């Protein structure tokens, strides 16, 4: 089922996300915004948080899909938004940022990659439907992990 996709392109999109995240973290670090001792207010894990994360992620996914008309513009948007997210995520330090992004980020970014790749291959209808299905399922699972497990891990890490 997945052999028909060009994994090279999907990996390039995935690496663009991570490059942006870590680039944003580096910019944050060298600008001096990072304050590891500053406590972060965390949301309370609940059903409403899960739905809000799905709303935000699905909106971004649709934008990525539509930007697939121009691969260059799509990648620029991915890189710029990843930089901004990286600056926000790593504000409390590199380790805390990694703890906050890794539990759900691997699946979430991969889901975005499948959806972005679907936008680039819009002409191939069967391929697009499979890619969108896989991408949105990954986003739903990542939203569940983010709204429960990631918050739980951050609470216990920051309370020590």
Q: 105, 43 in Cβ contact below 8 A?
A: no
What's the pLDDT tens digit per position in 30-80?
Answer: 776 555 555 556 666 678 888 999 999 999 999 999 999 998 999 999 999
- For residue 136, give both structure tokens: 């949105």
Task: Give the span between the Cα atoms of 58 and 116, in whole angstroms.
Answer: 12
pLDDT tens-digit readout, 121-154: 887 777 899 999 999 999 999 999 988 888 888 7
Chain centre distance of CA 153: 18
Domain-embedded: residue 13:
yes
The DSSP string of 90-127 is GGG-HHHHHHHHHHHHHHHHHHHHHHHHHHHTTT-HHH
pLDDT for the residue 44: 66
Mean of the per-residue pLDDT values for the chain?
84
How many structural domains is the chain composed of? 1
User: Within a domain: residue 42?
Assistant: no
Structural domain includes residue 79: yes
Distances (CA, A) of 22 to 59, 154, 160: 23, 19, 25
Q: What count of other Cβ atoms lies within 10 Å of the Cβ of residue 56?
A: 11
- E strand or H helix that includes residue 59: helix 47-66
Residue range of the domain that includes 126: 7-30+60-158
- Report which of residues 106 and 123 the model is more confident about: 106
* Helix orientation angle between 151-158 and 94-120, rounded to the nearest 10 degrees: 160
Looking at the domain assignment, is residue 35 inside a domain?
no
Does 39 map to a domain? no
- Is position 113 within any domain? yes
Three-state DSSP class for residue 1: coil
Let me know if residue 36 belongs to a domain. no
User: Is 45 domain-assigned?
Assistant: no
Beta strands in the chain (DSSP E): none
């Amino acid at each position: 089922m997945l052999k028909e996709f060009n994994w090279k392109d999907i990996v390039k999109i995935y690496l663009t996300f991570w490059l942006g995240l870590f680039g944003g973290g580096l910019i944050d670090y060298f600008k001096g915004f990072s304050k590891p001792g500053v406590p972060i207010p965390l949301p309370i894990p609940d059903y409403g948080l899960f739905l809000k994360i799905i709303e935000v992620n699905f909106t971004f996914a649709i934008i990525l899909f539509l930007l697939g008309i121009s691969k260059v513009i799509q990648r620029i948007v991915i890189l710029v938004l990843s930089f901004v997210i990286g600056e926000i995520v790593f504000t409390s330090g590199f380790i805390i940022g990694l703890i906050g992004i890794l539990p759900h980020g691997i699946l979430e970014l991969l889901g975005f990659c499948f959806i972005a790749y679907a936008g680039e291959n819009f002409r191939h209808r069967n391929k697009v439907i499979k890619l969108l299905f896989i991408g949105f399922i990954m986003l739903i699972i990542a939203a569940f992990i983010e709204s429960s497990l990631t918050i739980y891990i951050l609470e216990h890490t920051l309370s020590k």
